[in-house]
Every structure is written in C-alpha cells, then in structure tokens.
Amino acid sequence: MKSFKYVLLGGGTASGYAAREFVQRGVEPGQLCIITSEAVVAYERPALSKGFLLADKPARLPGFHTCVGKGWERQTPEWYAEHGIEYMTSTRVVSADIAGKKLVLDSGEEVGYEKLIVATGARPATLRELGVPGAELEGIHYVREVAEAQALYDAIADCKARSARAVVIGAGYIGMEVAAALAGNGLAVTMVFPGGMLMERLLPPEAASFYEEYYKERGVEVMWGQRGAGFEGEEGRLEAVLLQDGRRIEAGMAVVGIGARVNKELFEGQLDMAKGGIEVDGRLRTSNPDVYAIGDVAAFPLVGYGGQLQRQEHVTNARLSAAHAVSAIMAPEETGDYEYLPFFYSRFFALSWQFYGTNKGKSVMFGDKGAAKFGMYWLAEGRVVGAFLEGGSAEEFGWIKAVALRRPEAPATEERLAAKGLAFAAAV
Ligand code: FAD
C-alpha cells in the first residue's frame, strides 16, 4: 500500500488552493498526494458557466487552473510534479476506512495517510433522480465538471446549426449564467423555474424585477411558476420539454441547474455529519482528529453568526477554508478559528454583482436601476448586516464588504439610508 503524510481527496477548487498552501508552508517532495476522479488537475470551477461558454475566445484549460482566480500562479500538472506532489487523476475513491487511515481506489489499490483533507465538493442534483419522465434523454445537460461544460459547449454549436431553442431549468446562479451565455451565443432561450421571479432567493421583488426585465430585453423568455415536468424525445434525443401546466416547448437542448448534492457518502457512519455535509470545528477538523474537510462538503461554525454550523457552496469559502485547514495541520500553534464572511458574486451579460453578509432582515434599496447601478442593505436590530451591489467598482465592492464585516448602526430612518446609498458604505 502506498502511504503519504498528507492526502487531499478531491481535485477541485478547494484542493488547488490547499496544494498551494502546502507548498507555501514547505511541504516536502513525496509527502502530499492528491486523488481526483476528474481527468485534469484542479481548476477554477466558476469559469465553467462563464468564460468557458463565451461565443468569442472561450476560456480553456490550462488557462484557468488554480490559483489564477486570485491572480496567483497557475498550477499546471508540471507545477505539481516540480513540487514532488503525486497527483492521481481519473482515479475515484470508492471507500474510506477512517479507523484504518486508508482510502480504497477504483483500481482496488489502497492509499494510506497520516492526515486526510476531504475536498469532495458536490455534484448536480438531477431530474433523473427525481424520477422526471424522459430525464435520461441525450441533450439534457448539467454543468459541474469541465467535461460536462465541453459537452454543453458542443451542444450550443449543434443547436445553433439547427436553429433549435435551448431551455434552462432553474434560476439559481448556474441557470442565470448559463441562460445569459446561451443567449450570448445567439440561441433562442427559455428559462423555466418554480419561483415567482429571478434571483428571488437573494433579493426582494423591487430589486429582483430588474433582472427579469433585463433578461427579457435580451430575448430570454422567462417562465416562472413552472417545473420541467417531463421530456419528449426521438431515438433517445431530446425534442421537447413539458411543463407542469401541460405546455410543450420544442427544444434542441436543456440545461438543468436545480441545486447540488454533497459528496459525503464515503464518510457516513464514520464522521459526524451536519447541514447535509461533514461537520468540522473552527480548524476545519472533523470528528476524527486526523481528518479535515474543506469547501462545499464542510459544515463549519460561522463566527459572527452565533457560531451556527453552515455549509457555503461558494468559491471564496473553498479557497479560504483550504488555506485555513492546511495552516491548522502544518502550523497549529499559529492557527485560530476559521472566520468567514458569507460572500456571493455572479456575472452575466454585462452585469456583475456582489453580496456580503446576510439577507435576513428588513431590506432597503438604493441607487438607480435604470443605470444598472443599485444596491440593497439589510437591517436587523438597528444594524446593517448585509449588503448587495450591482455594477460596482472594485473599490465600491470593498465598501459594501466592510459594511457586512463591521455591521454599523443604521441611520435613524430607512429613507435616510436609501438616500445615502453607497455613501453610507463609503463612510464605514
Ligand atoms: P469541487 O470544486 O466540486 O471539487 C470536488 C472534487 O472532488 C472534484 O474534482 C470531484 O471530481 C472530486 N471527487 C468527488 N468525489 C470523489 C471521489 N470519491 N474520488 C475522487 N474524486 C472525487 N461559486 C461562487 O462563489 N461564485 C460563482 O460564480 C460560482 N460559479 C459556479 C459555476 C459552476 C458551473 C459551478 C459548478 C460552481 C460554481 N460556484 C461558484 C461554486 C464553486 O465552484 C464551488 O463552491 C467550489 O468549486 C467548491 O470547491 P470544492 O473543492 O469544495 O469542490
């Protein structure tokens, strides 16, 4: 059996940033092994629904390997080899023996470890597992891994050639980004989602309505209050999407973004679980002292929010939790508890927004929707606890981040806060 001092299970975004931290902290050649089922080394996953799908000069590997998202060195396969890191690609771990401190690979081989970091992320929730009729047809796409994004990209070209419509099911950030990319590629696009408005989980109607109008103006058909109830096809290939209300939309392709399932099954019954993932403490350590979990799979105490356990399926958490866990392993005496400020961002069409903190509480809108520059503050117990900004500059995004971090006292009235707008954040 091969054995390593450190094993990173998963080769996604968190894993790439963890590898960087290991190297920065002086890991020695032969000490670190990374195992991933993907065929390529770690990359910046958010690129798959953005730059990867662009009509013009789409992003391709090796261009977006980690850690280019932070402007740091691009870690190609050669980078890992140079640092003496053993990287097992196209290798799936099929079982884990926490008591025996080893992993079993799909080849039957075993890999032992002294310290294990679990970075297995998540996979798309599928309509097939929900039993939707026709969900197995060719032409129904999901986007999690680079191979799936490539299949989607090829399908776009095929649909364009056939002048076929694309249907996007789901209006989370993947649905929003993919719909924009498909429209940007010249396809006729219909979005189908069960809610009442795009972005309604994040924003109140007065702000969310902006996005619906914006998409409609760019030719995207928006069908809310609808689920994909079934699919029709011929010779195994998608022909139409059926809606709950009986309508039938002819489609050359469908893209489904209805949420994610956490890859935690290998550890069920062996590690404590919480919030649909693996429970960790402030040092990202699981219920076993030699096993850590980072990124989407980890449920960690959110400092500043009463220490409640939360999972965060966001790239900033993947990057920061990765560095923190490696620091906790290699420099425990200088590592405190992981402090994370919830942060989401997205970009579609010419829009770009960021959100920090929490959207629980009373919301106050500011700015100018007509100029695509507006924002939102959330108030709780007399303080501003969350902030959203569309169309900000780097400096302005920094201001709203500071608001969520410092949670300043709110002005006496909501009207005053709305009138101050970004100036309120600038002064924090
Ligand atoms: P992942 O990056 O998913 O990596 C998990 C890895 O583990 C994968 O390589 C997988 O193959 C491997 N693995 C799993 N099980 C096994 C096994 N048994 N054996 C071997 N290998 C295994 N977040 C944002 O904040 N902003 C965005 O704009 C944004 N856009 C996104 C767009 C898309 C299309 C997607 C899919 C996600 C996006 N995210 C975004 C979320 C962000 O990418 C994730 O939060 C981040 O990738 C999590 O990193 P991770 O390393 O925990 O998991």
Pocket lining: 121 vs ligand 1, CB cutoff 6 Å: yes
| pLDDT at site 200 | 85
Same domain, yes or no, for 115 and 194?
A: no
Distances in whole angstroms, Cα of residue 143 to Cα of each of 88, 149, 392: 23, 6, 28
Assess whether the C-beta atom of 92 lies below 6 angstroms from ligand 1.
Answer: yes
Nearest-CA residue for atom 42 of ligand 1: 315
User: Is residue 101, in this structure, part of any structural domain at all?
Assistant: yes
Question: Which atom from ligand 1 is nearest to the alpha carbon of 10?
Answer: 7
Q: What is this model's ipTM?
A: 0.99
pLDDT in tens, 50-97: 999 999 999 999 999 999 999 999 999 999 999 999 999 999 999 999
Ligand 1 within 6 A of CB of 312:
no
128 found inside a domain? no
Asked whether residue 43 is assigned to any structural domain, the reply reads yes
Asked if 52 and 96 sit in the same domain, the reply is yes
On whether both 108 and 88 belong to a single domain, the answer is yes
49 lines ligand 1 (CB under 6 A): yes
427, 418, 422, 383: which is closest to 404 by C-alpha? 383
CATH code for the domain in which residue 415 is found = 3.30.390.30
Q: Report if residue 300 sits inside a domain.
A: yes
> What residue owns the CA closest to ligand 1's atom 31?
46
Asked whether residue 254 falls in the same domain as residue 265, the answer is no
User: Does a structural domain hold residue 30?
Assistant: yes
pLDDT of residue 84: 98
Q: What pLDDT sits at residue 173?
A: 86
User: Is 314 near ligand 1, meaning CB less than 6 Å away?
Assistant: yes
Query: Whose alpha carbon is nearest atom 14 of ligand 1?
Result: 120
Q: Which of these three, 334, 358, 379, is where a domain ends?
A: 334
Last residue of a domain, one of 284, 310, 334: 334
* Neighbour count for residue 207 (Cβ, 10 Å): 22
pTM of the predicted model, to two decimals?
0.95
Same domain, 6 and 117: yes
- Long-range contact set of residues 152-159: C-beta below 8 Å, sequence gap at least 24: 152/53, 152/178, 152/253, 152/255, 153/52, 153/53, 153/58, 155/252, 155/253, 156/53, 156/182, 156/185, 156/187, 156/253, 158/252, 158/253, 159/187, 159/252, 159/253
Q: Is 48 in the pocket of ligand 1 (CB under 6 A)?
A: yes
36 lines ligand 1 (CB under 6 A): yes
Residues 7, 114 share a domain: yes
Domain span including residue 354: 350-426
Quick one: 89 and 152 in the same domain?
no
Give me the CATH number covering residue 316.
3.50.50.60
Same structural domain, 246 and 197: yes
Nearest to 330 by CA among 13, 18, 80: 18
Strands 140-141, 253-256: pairing is parallel
Whether residue 311 sits in one domain with residue 399: no
Residues 175 and 231 in one domain: yes
- 65 lies in some domain: yes
Where the chain has pLDDT below 50, the residues are: none
Q: Considering the domain boundaries, does residue 343 fall inside one?
A: no
Sign of CA dihedral 347, 353, 357, 358: negative
Specify the ligand 1 atom closest to the Cα of 260: 36
Contact 3, 103 (CB under 8 A): no
Pocket test for ligand 1, best of 66, 111, 120, 284 (most atoms within 8 A of CB): 120
Residues 232 and 177 in one domain: yes
Please count the structural domains in the chain: 3
**Which of 276, 305, 334 is the last residue before a domain boundary?**
334
Q: Are residues 192 and 108 in the same domain?
A: no
Mutation to probe ligand 1, out of 44, 45, 87, 199 (largest number of atoms < 8 A from CB) = 45
Could you tell me if residue 342 is inside a domain?
no
pLDDT for the residue 128: 96
